[in-house]
Structure 1
Amino acid sequence: MVPAGYYKKYVILEELDPGFGIQGAPEGFARFEGNRNGITLSLQIRRLREGTAPYTVILIYEKNNEIGVLRAGNLDVSHMNGIFRRNLDYEAIRSLGMAPENIRYILIAAEHRDRIFLPMIGICGKAGAWDESIRQRLLRKEPVRVEKHEKEFLLNGESEKSAVEAPVRDPDYDGKNKIDALSLERKLKETFEKTEPFLNPRHDYVWYKINDLAKLSNILFACNMKIPLFANPKILVGLFKYRHLIAGIYRSDRNRMNYFVLGIPAKDDADGKPFEKICRWVGVSNPEYGDMSGYWLVYINLANGEFVS
């Protein structure tokens, strides 16, 4: 019989942001071992590229309906292998408001001043899927909160009104990081075919049909927009299955702000969200794309680069 407080739990680590593997995608696992004194977290990873700065092991957990972040330490990488081990005593865990059963993600992060890459993540239990808004939380850029009555102005199946969002000032957001909105619009127009995916055209939206994800990714990167398109499997599945995505510019008549909008086709709104909590479903009817019945839309404010939640 295992004594109270003793347990072992394994979590598979998988690639999220590409480009950090050698001879294939990195792979590995994390192991939690509980005893009467606390928890031991161990990681073993292989095929991980050595960086110019050490990788950080981060635990994301829930506390009182909020997100907690614990930077557990640096991951040692040598000859493509990463090893990590740390003991967390229960007193320290309680002081953070963290319970083992409420840990949502284990992250391997490459952190920079204004950017963060996540070569690998482990999804724990009830988390279910990766939540991209966590990346902003790690950068201490809280996602914009849009109240329920304001969300009604965003494009959906029943509303014809415009988006409302108060501008957010980010102290780390300066001129060199600013999105080049004019260049983005020009490059989209020059590269992709203009389309109208919805039955009721809107004068405040301009849409383009995207059939080459690499071209879109290069355009976004050149215009200083950091969206890890290739790291999101649901975007790739939507493109592969329905042979296109949609992307466009939304100009709000209400608050004079502009947004980049990405649309990922899906069978229905039960088909998993590509960006948890920050995308909305809009239904369409187009027999050209088989069983597709709509798009998951995600909005990004071109003034500050923030996702609209």
Structure 2
Amino acid sequence: MINYYKTFFILNEEDRGFKEGENPLGYVKIEAREGKGRLNCHVSNLKCQNLKYKLYIMKVDEQNIVPFSLGYINLKGREGELQKHFDPSNVGGTGISIEHFNVAAVLVDSSFEDNIICPLAAYKDKKIEWRNKLKRSFNTGSLLKKENTIIERKDNGVIDNKETSIKDNKKTSIKDNKETSAKDNKEINEKAIKFEKEKNDKDIEVEKNLTEKYEKLIFKNEIKYEGAKLKETEFDIKTEDVRDKDVETKENYFKKLEEQFHQIFKKIKPFRVERKDYRWWQIINPVDLNNIFYRFNIKVPVLFNPLVIMAHFKYKHMIVGLYEDKKKNLRYVVCGIPSLYWVDEKPFGEMCRWAQVEGDKPRYGAFGYWLIYINPATGRILSNN
């Protein structure tokens, strides 16, 4: 049984001709805990006129493929969503564990089995050829019609799961879902799994792998804040003591950092109540912020956190600020992750503090930002205890 597993697929455009306005994009979030699995898919900017899209996840190697169809994506306007629950140790009755699936693809539903059209796809480690293998799978087992045929790993034989029932959760299989997935989504909500939000060592390890992947990708190409004042951790206090020896250098450093923010980003006032010790800028492209961090030697993997990636994808922006207390000689970089209070997950657990756009009292569903304070000298996120 899988105790914990979490991964993200960031969907990018493959076959062109299906965009509505901007380029299509999306993500697939997969999470498994204590033998229960949950998948969330979100897509944007896909044409929806007389078109239906299915989500597949696949285990692909050099010779074989094991595809699993999760059903139709429910499109509303330019946005589409799909939620599914599954057995992470035996995905779709394939006998294969969820961590072995390395491709996610959004396919256009078509009656022609040889015509595989893929507007969006994502790869776990590296790009791998899967289309010809999937065609053979479709031709061998009529997967498009039955949606419950699988290729066995041992002998590549085809097993016809005609007797498998969709109601049997222990033998999870694929339903021939010619209808919109709204009814399925209702059932999913009724069976929703409550996952703990606190991170453990396994969470960190999985997200570390994702961080390394996005590091390679990204370099290529006034309000009353909740809680007491920031409590510095021991390493932050030591760092401040060292840097206080050259206050002028420190001030110049922040001045240059502010100039960079002002040159590249739009200065904003995100909160109804303005505070003089904070200055804020809006981030449309996180790559620009990451490049500034890199140039100023601020080594913090904030932008590679999967929940930060999801928040930026959902709200199309984030904010960055500078906090300065000249009397105490404290200067921090502040990143604000857009969120709805207690609707979206905290991207950094208890290290975040909530700043609501309107109103002092936190309110369920209110829009605001989870703030994290970064010591630029160490790249460490300050504790909020």
Q: TM-score, normalised by structure 1?
A: 0.46
When Rg is computed on C-alpha atoms for both structures, the one with the higher figure is 2
Normalised by the length of structure 2, the TM-score is 0.38
